[in-house]
C-alpha cells in the first residue's frame, strides 16, 4: 500500500497515521522525494483502506499488490516523464535518442561525435568515462577528465549527457557534468550505489542486470525511489542466456512488460542487446515499435578504431540512416 501525504502535513497528523498503520500491523517506510511525500506500507492483513484514507494529511491511498511499490503502475497510471531541461523530455510520447561512443577517448573524438549529434538533432549524448570492462587489461575509460571533455563540448549545444557511475564515491565529482547517471548491468544490484543515487536530485537510468529478471530490475529502481529520487528510467540491454552466437539475448518482450508493470520510461539499448553492428538499427526500430520511450546506441566516427565495443558501434552514416528511420516510426506511432 502507498499513501501519498500532503506536504504540509503536521507532525501530530503524521503520528496519528503511523499509529493507525501500526495498530493494523503495517511496517511503514516514509519516503520524501523531489516531488512527493509517501508512506510505503507493508502488511500481511487485508485492511479496509478507507479507514486510513479518511485520516487528516492523507492526499491519496492505493493498494499495490506488487512486491515493488513506488515504481509500480498499480498506483500511478500516467507515464512518468523525465525533464532534462531545454525542452529535452523523456517519456512524452516522442522517442528519445541517446547516442555516442561506448567510451570517451579524446577531445577530437568527442568533437566529431558532437557535430554528428547536432547535425542529426540528437539531444542526448552517451559516453562512458568510467568503464566496467570484463578484462582488467582492457581500456577502462578516461575517468573524470573524459567526462569534463564531454561536458565542455556538449554544453554550447545544450546536449544532455548520460554516463555510467560505477561507485558511490564518484557521484559528487561527476554530478555537475552529468544529466543522467547510468547504472550499468554489472551494478544493477549494487544496493549501496543505488542507495546513494537515491539521495541526489538527478535522473538515473538503471540497466537490467546481466542475468537480471524484470522483477529484479524493478526492485533496483525501487531502491533508488525509496531513498528519495523518483527521476528514474529503466533500460533493457539484453540478458545472458544459453545462446552464445550473439553478445546478449535482447529481450524485446521486456519492453512492454516493463511499460505495463511500471510507470517509468523504458529505454532500449540494442547495441549491447545484440552486440553486432549491422543488426543494431533494426533492433532499435523494433524496440520503438515495441513501445520503448527511447533508444540508447553506440556511434563513433571510426568504429573499427574504437577503444571499446567497436563491433557493435554504428558509424556516422549508419547512425544518420537510423535517425531518419526513427522519424518514420514516429509518424507510424
Binding residues (CB under 5 A) for Mn ion: these are 102, 309
**Of all residues in this chain, which one has the CB nearest to ligand PEP in the complex?**
184
Q: For Mn ion, which is the closer residue by CB, 170 or 262? A: 170
- Nearest approach in angstroms of CB 271 to Mn ion is 7
Cell of 209: 542486470
Q: For ligand PEP, which is the closer residue by CB, 57 or 212? A: 212
Which range of residues in 75-83, 183-191, 195-203, 219-227 is near ligand PEP by CB under 6 A? 183-191
* H or E stretch covering 126: strand 124-126
Q: Is 166 in the site for ligand PEP (CB under 6 A)?
A: no
- Nearest approach in angstroms of CB 300 to Mn ion is 10
Q: For ligand PEP, which is the closer residue by CB, 230 or 269? A: 269
Q: Give, in order, the Cα–Cα distances in Å from 188 to each of 31, 57, 130, 166, 271.
A: 21, 36, 15, 10, 18
What's the CA gap between 238 and 260, in Å, rounded? 19
Which range of residues in 41-49, 55-63, 182-190, 226-234 is near ligand PEP by CB under 6 A? 182-190
- Nearest approach in angstroms of CB 79 to ligand PEP is 23
Contact string 120-139 vs ligand PEP (x = CB under 6 A): --------x---x-------
For cell 533508488, name the residue.
Answer: 224
What's the CA gap between 93 and 149, in Å, rounded? 31
- Nearest approach in angstroms of CB 178 to ligand PEP is 14
* Residues near 129 by beta carbon (within 8 Å), at least 6 away in sequence: 103, 104, 141, 142, 143, 144, 145, 146, 147, 150, 163, 164, 174
Total chain residues near ligand PEP (CB under 6 A): 9
Residues 259-288 that bind ligand PEP (CB under 6 A): 272
Q: For Mn ion, which is the closer residue by CB, 134 or 176? A: 134
Pick one of 185, 267, 280, 285: the residue that binds ligand PEP (CB under 6 A): 185
Q: For Mn ion, which is the closer residue by CB, 291 or 310? A: 310
* H or E stretch covering 4: strand 2-5
| SS3 call for 213 | coil
Q: Which strands, in side-by-side order, build the sheet including 58-62?
A: 26-32, 37-43, 2-5, 58-62
Contact indicator for 286, 252 with CB cutoff of 8 Å: yes
Contact string 221-260 vs ligand PEP (x = CB under 6 A): ----------------x-----------------------
Contact indicator for 24, 78 with CB cutoff of 8 Å: no
- Nearest approach in angstroms of CB 229 to ligand PEP is 20
Q: Is 184 in the site for ligand PEP (CB under 6 A)?
A: yes
Contact indicator for 127, 163 with CB cutoff of 8 Å: yes
Residues 98-117 that bind ligand PEP (CB under 6 A): 102
Q: For ligand PEP, which is the closer residue by CB, 116 or 207? A: 207
- Nearest approach in angstroms of CB 207 to ligand PEP is 5
* H or E stretch covering 28: strand 26-32
What's the CA gap between 221 and 194, in Å, rounded? 8
**DSSP letter string over 254-306?**
HHHHHHHHBSS-EEE-HHHHH--GGGHHHHHHHHHHTT-SEEEEEB-S-GGG-
Residues of this chain that interact with ligand PEP (CB under 6 A) are: 102, 128, 132, 184-186, 207, 237, 272
Amino acid at each position: 500500500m502507498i499513501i501519498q501525504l500532503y506536504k504540509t502535513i503536521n507532525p501530530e497528523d503524521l503520528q496519528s497515521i503511523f499509529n493507525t498503520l501500526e495498530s493494523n500491523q503495517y511496517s511503514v517506510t516514509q519516503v520524501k522525494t523531489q516531488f512527493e511525500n509517501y508512506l510505503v506500507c507493508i502488511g500481511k492483513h487485508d485492511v479496509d483502506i478507507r479507514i486510513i484514507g479518511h485520516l487528516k494529511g492523507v492526499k491519496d491511498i492505493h493498494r499495490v499488490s506488487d512486491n515493488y511499490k513506488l515504481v509500480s503502475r498499480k498506483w500511478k497510471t500516467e507515464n512518468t516523464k523525465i525533464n532534462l531541461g531545454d525542452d529535452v523530455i523523456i517519456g512524452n510520447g516522442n522517442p528519445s535518442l541517446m547516442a555516442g561512443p561506448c567510451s570517451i577517448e579524446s577531445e577530437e573524438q568527442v568533437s566529431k561525435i558532437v557535430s554528428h549529434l547536432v547535425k542529426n538533432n540528437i539531444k542526448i549524448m552517451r559516453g562512458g568515462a568510467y568503464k566496467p570492462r570484463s578484462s582488467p587489461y582492457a581500456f577502462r575509460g578516461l575517468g573524470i577528465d573524459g567526462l569534463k571533455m564531454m561536458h565542455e563540448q556538449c554544453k554550447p549545444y545544450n546536449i544532455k549527457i548520460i554516463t555510467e557511475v560505477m561507485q558511490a564515491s564518484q557521484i559528487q565529482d561527476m554530478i555537475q557534468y552529468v544529466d543522467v547517471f547510468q547504472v550499468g548491468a554489472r551494478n544493477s544490484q549494487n544496493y549501496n550505489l543505488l542507495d546513494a543515487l537515491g539521495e541526489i536530485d538527478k535522473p538515473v537510468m538503471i540497466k537490467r542486470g546481466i542475468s537480471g529478471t524484470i522483477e529484479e530490475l524493478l526492485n533496483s529502481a525501487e531502491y533508488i525511489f525509496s531513498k528519495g529520487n523518483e527521476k528514474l528510467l529503466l533500460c533493457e540491454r539484453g540478458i545472458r542466456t544459453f545462446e552464445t552466437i550473439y553478445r546478449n539475448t535482447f529481450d524485446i518482450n521486456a519492453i512492454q512488460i516493463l511499460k505495463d508493470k511500471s510507470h517509468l520510461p523504458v529505454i532500449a539499448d540494442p547495441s549491447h542487446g545484440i552486440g553486432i553492428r549491422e543488426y543494431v538499427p533494426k533492433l532499435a526500430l523494433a524496440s520503438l515499435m515495441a513501445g520503448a520511450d527511447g533508444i540508447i546506441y553506440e556511434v563513433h566516427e571510426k568504429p573499427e578504431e574504437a577503444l571499446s565495443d567497436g563491433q557493435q558501434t554504428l558509424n556516422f552514416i549508419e547512425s544518420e540512416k537510423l535517425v531518419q528511420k526513427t522519424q518514420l516510426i514516429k509518424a507510424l506511432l
